[in-house]
C-alpha cells in the first residue's frame, strides 16, 4: 500500500516518543546553532523527508555520527543511522577536493609513505599549514598525522613465517592508521598476542573500512570497500580465524555501519570481528591464557572511552584490562565526546565547534593530571594530544609496554 511507503522506515523512526533526551546529550547542539539537533534531524525530519525529499536539510552534515543520541534514547531509535542514511540518500552535492583528500585515508597513505619524511616535513611547515588553511580549508591549528616510512603490512609480511609457528592464530584488521601512520600500534599488538601464545596474520586483502568516505559523501566508494572487506573477512572466518582490531571506529564500521548504512550484508562475519581488548580480556578471564607484567611498572592512567566504543558497549574490556596491570592507578574519565570525530575536526569550518565540544574532556584531563591518557581511537588521540599536551596511548600499547620482558 502507498501509505506504507511514507511511514515505514528501515530505522524505526516511528518509535520516537519526542522526549528530546537525544538532543539533551548531543555534543553538537550546544556549540553549533546551525545544527537542528538529533530529534529534528533524525526522526522528525525523516517523517517529512519520506513525504518529500525537498525537506532534506544540508545542516545534517554537522552531525558527528558519534551515536551518543542512540546510546541514550529510551526507545532504541537509531537516530544517528537515520541522519547518516538521509545524507547518503538525499545529499547529491559532489564532495569537494578537500573532503576527497581527507576521506581517502588509504590512498593518501600509500601515496605519502615512500616520501614520508618529506610529507611530514612539508605538512608540519607553517607555510604549508597556511596554504592548506586558505586554499583547502583544513584548519591551520591541526597537526597532520605523521606518515610512517614503512607500512605495518610490510613489517608483518616479513615476519609471516615466524608468526605461523604459533599454535593458535588470529587475523588482524589493522586499519589505515596502524598501517601508514603508526605501525608501532600494530607491532605492539603482535607483541601482546605473541605473549599470549597467538600468532598474527594479515587479511588476504584489507581495504580502508570506509568510515571517512561515508562521512564525506562518498558512500558508493565506501560500499565497494565494504564489499571487498567482507570477502576478505569471510576468507579468514572460513579458515577458522577470529579477526581482531585495535581501532574502535573501524570495528563499529565493519560490524554495524556496513549493514545499517551501506546495506552490505556482513551477517556471516560480523560476530568474528572483535576489538582486541575484548578478545584478550575474555581469554584471560576464561583462564586459557595469562599475561605477565613487569613488577616495577607504574603509571597513572586516565581512560577516555571513544564515542564509538561506548556505542559498541565494549569500553569495559579495555579499562578492565588496564586495571589488571599491577602498578596502574586508574581513572575513568566522564563520558564526553572529544570533538574531532574523524575528519570532521580537520575542516576549517568545524574547528571551533570541535574544540568547544572537547573542552569538558580537556579540562577534566588537566585536572586529573595523569601520566598519560588511554584511548582506543586514533583520531581522539590526535585531538587530545593537540588540545591537552598529554600523551595518548592505545590500551594495547600500554599492555605491550607493561609486559614482562
Partner 1 sequence: MRFDTVIIGGGLAGLTAGISLQEAGQKVAIVSAGQNAMHFFSGNFEEIGTARERVSALFASAGVRTHSSDGWMLMPMGSMREVSLTLDDVAVFPDKHVAEKALIVNYTGFHDFYGTFLAEALEKNGTTCRIRFVRIPEMEHLRLSPSEMRSVNIARVMDEHWEKVVSDIRVLLKDEDLILLPQVFGLKDLSVLDKIRTAFPARVAFIGTMPPSVPGIRTQMLLKRRFEVLGGTFLMGDEVTSAAMHEGIVSSVTTRNLDTARLFADHFILATGGYFSKGLVSTPTLVNEPLFGLDIDYPEDRNAWYDPDFFADQPYLNFGVKTDESLRAVKDGVPLQNLYAIGSILGNTRKADYGSAAGLAIRTAFAVADTIKGGNV
77 part of the interface to ligand SF4, by CB under 6 A: yes
Looking at 22-30, 191-199, 204-212, 224-232, which segment touches ligand SF4 (CB under 6 A)? 22-30
80 part of the interface to ligand SF4, by CB under 6 A: yes
272 part of the interface to partner 1, by CB under 8 A: no
User: Mask: binding to ligand SF4, 162-201, rule CB under 6 A, as x and -?
Assistant: ----------------------------------------
- Distances in Å between the Cα of 309 and the Cα atoms of 54, 92, 214 are 35, 30, 18
Name which position in 11, 61, 87, 311 contacts partner 1 (CB under 8 A): 311
Name which position in 53, 76, 121, 197 contacts partner 1 (CB under 8 A): 76
By beta-carbon proximity to ligand SF4, the closer residue of 86 and 400 is 86
**Do residues 379 and 167 lie in contact, with contact meaning Cβ atoms separated by under 8 Å?**
no
Helix (H, G, I), strand (E, B) or coil at 299: strand
In the list ligand SF4, partner 1, none, the entry touching 316 (Cβ below 5 to 8 angstroms by class) is partner 1
Distance CA 64, CA 343 (A): 10
Q: Is 167 exposed, middle or buried (0-12, 13-18, 19+ CB in 10 A)?
A: exposed
Helix H, strand E, coil C: the string for 24-84 is HHCCCCCCCCCCCCHHHHHHHHHHHHHHCHHHCCHHHHHCCCCCHHHHHCCCCCCHHHHHH
Minimum CB–partner distance for residue 306 and partner 1 (Å): 14
68 part of the interface to ligand SF4, by CB under 6 A: yes
Name which position in 281, 344, 351, 390 contacts partner 1 (CB under 8 A): 281
Q: What is the edge-to-edge ordering of all strands in the sheet holding 392-393?
A: 328-332, 299-303, 372-374, 392-393
Other CB atoms within 10 A of residue 125 CB: 12
Other CB atoms within 10 A of residue 374 CB: 27
Name which position in 32, 65, 387, 388 contacts ligand SF4 (CB under 6 A): 65
Q: Name the residues that contact partner 1, by CB under 8 A.
A: 19-21, 23-24, 29-30, 33-34, 36-37, 39-40, 44, 70-76, 271, 278, 281-282, 285, 310-314, 316-317, 320, 332, 334-335
Q: Name the residues that contact ligand SF4, by CB under 6 A.
A: 16-22, 26-28, 38-39, 42-43, 63-69, 73, 75, 77, 79-80, 83
Amino acid at each position: 500500500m502507498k501509505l506504507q511507503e511514507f511511514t515505514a522506515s528501515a530505522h524505526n523512526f516511528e518509535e520516537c516518543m519526542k522526549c528530546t533526551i537525544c538532543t539533551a546529550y548531543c555534543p553538537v547542539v550546544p556549540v553549533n546553532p546551525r545544527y537542528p539537533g538529533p530529534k529534528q534531524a533524525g526522526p522528525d525530519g525523516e517523517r517529512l523527508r519520506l513525504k518529500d525529499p525537498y525537506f532534506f536539510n544540508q545542516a545534517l552534515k554537522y552531525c558527528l555520527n558519534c551515536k551518543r543520541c542512540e546510546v541514550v534514547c529510551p526507545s532504541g531509535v537509531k537516530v544517528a543511522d537515520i541522519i547518516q542514511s538521509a545524507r547518503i540518500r538525499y545529499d547529491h552535492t559532489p564532495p569537494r577536493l578537500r573532503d576527497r583528500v581527507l576521506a581517502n585515508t588509504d590512498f593518501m597513505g600509500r601515496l605519502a609513505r615512500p616520501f614520508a619524511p618529506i610529507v611530514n616535513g612539508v605538512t608540519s611547515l607553517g607555510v604549508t599549514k597556511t596554504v592548506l588553511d586558505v586554499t583547502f580549508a583544513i584548519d591551520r591549528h591541526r597537526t597532520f598525522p605523521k606518515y610512517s616510512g614503512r607500512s605495518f603490512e610490510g613489517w608483518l609480511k616479513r615476519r609471516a613465517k615466524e608468526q605461523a609457528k604459533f599454535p593458535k592464530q588470529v587475523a588482524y584488521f589493522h586499519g589505515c592508521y596502524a598501517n601508514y601512520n603508526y605501525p608501532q600500534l600494530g607491532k605492539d599488538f603482535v607483541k601482546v598476542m605473541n605473549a599470549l601464545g597467538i600468532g598474527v596474520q594479515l587479511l588476504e586483502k584489507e581495504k580502508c573500512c570506509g568510515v571517512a568516505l561515508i562521512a564525506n559523501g562518498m558512500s558508493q566508494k565506501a560500499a565497494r570497500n565494504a564489499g571487498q572487506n567482507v570477502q576478505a573477512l569471510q576468507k579468514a572466518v572460513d579458515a577458522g580465524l577470529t579477526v581482531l582490531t585495535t581501532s574502535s571506529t573501524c570495528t563499529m564500521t565493519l560490524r554495524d555501519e556496513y549493514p545499517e548504512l551501506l546495506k552490505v550484508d556482513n551477517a556471516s562475519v560480523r560476530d568474528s570481528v572483535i576489538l582486541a581488548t575484548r578478545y584478550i580480556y575474555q581469554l584471560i578471564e576464561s583462564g586459557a591464557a595469562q599475561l605477565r607484567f613487569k613488577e616495577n611498572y607504574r603509571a597513572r592512567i586516565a581512560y577516555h572511552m571513544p564515542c564509538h566504543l561506548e556505542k559498541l558497549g565494549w569500553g569495559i574490556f579495555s579499562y578492565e584490562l588496564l586495571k589488571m596491570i599491577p602498578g596502574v592507578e586508574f581513572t575513568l574519565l566522564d563520558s564526553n565526546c572529544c570533538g574531532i570525530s574523524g575528519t570532521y575536526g580537520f575542516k576549517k569550518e568545524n574547528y571551533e565547534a570541535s574544540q568547544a565540544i572537547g573542552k569538558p574532556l580537556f579540562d577534566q584531563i588537566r585536572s586529573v593530571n595523569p601520566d598519560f591518557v588511554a584511548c582506543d581511537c586514533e583520531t581522539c588521540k590526535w585531538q587530545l594530544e593537540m588540545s591537552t599536551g598529554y600523551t595518548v596511548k592505545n590500551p594495547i600499547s600500554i599492555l605491550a609496554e607493561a609486559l614482562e620482558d
